[in-house]
Amino acid sequence: MNARFRVALLCCALLAACSPPATDKYAARDREVAQTDTVLPPIASPDTTNAVWVPTQGDAEAPERVVFGEPGTPPLFALACSENEDGPVIRLTRFNTVEDGAQALIAVIGNGHIARWKVDATPRGARNVWEGDVPLEDEDLEMFAGPRRIEATVPGGGSLELPADPLPARLIARCIANEKAQGVGEEEAGIEQDIAVRD
């Protein structure tokens, strides 16, 4: 091995050692894209030191809506069981003020998942907030059941750190259970109707 080749090999090794992991690079890229999908300027990331997950519909064992924020202050983020024209969904809300008609992607990263979900400016009280629906079958929802924190980045809202907590996972499990129960009920109703027609 000649000296020139050894020097080139050493340079390559040093560059590789200095490069961040691929996941970190993709996460950083998604945060940059999420911040530039709309004309709203970015803001400082919220302080979540004292923020917690709490159920606002249902109870802690079977919640149907959970919010994240500091007690006594407006929430920062929410997940809820809901439906749209395509069927049952998880409705996510990022509570920061948004311009009328704005559309964007919220980048949510954590527990081995990188998701980019569509959100729209949605009226809530006296302002618009970011809101979007995620189909129950979306595998990236599994990130909410993981043991590590999640980072959600959206235009005008900064980067929001969501700590690991059992409540989001219980909510998603409850939504899935409700969908299955509804499907069984509709199937049984159809069978009963068929029997009645035959009689």
Residue-level pLDDT at 62: 87
Which domains are assigned to the chain? Answer: 20-198 (2.60.40)
The pLDDT tens digits for 45-87 are: 899 999 999 999 988 998 999 999 999 999 999 999 999 998 9
Per DSSP, which regions of 42-142 are E strands? Answer: 52-58, 63-69, 77-84, 87-98, 103-110, 113-124, 127-135
pLDDT at residue 44, rounded to an integer? 77
Per-residue pLDDT tens over the stretch 165-176: 999 999 999 999
Q: Is pTM beyond 0.85 here?
A: no
The pLDDT confidence band at residue 15, using thresholds 50, 70 and 90, is: very low
The residues, ordered by sequence, that sit 6+ positions from 108 with a Cβ below 8 Å of its Cβ are 114, 115, 116, 117, 140, 143, 150, 151, 152, 153
177-192 residue pLDDT tens: 988 887 644 554 444 5
Give the length of the chain. 199
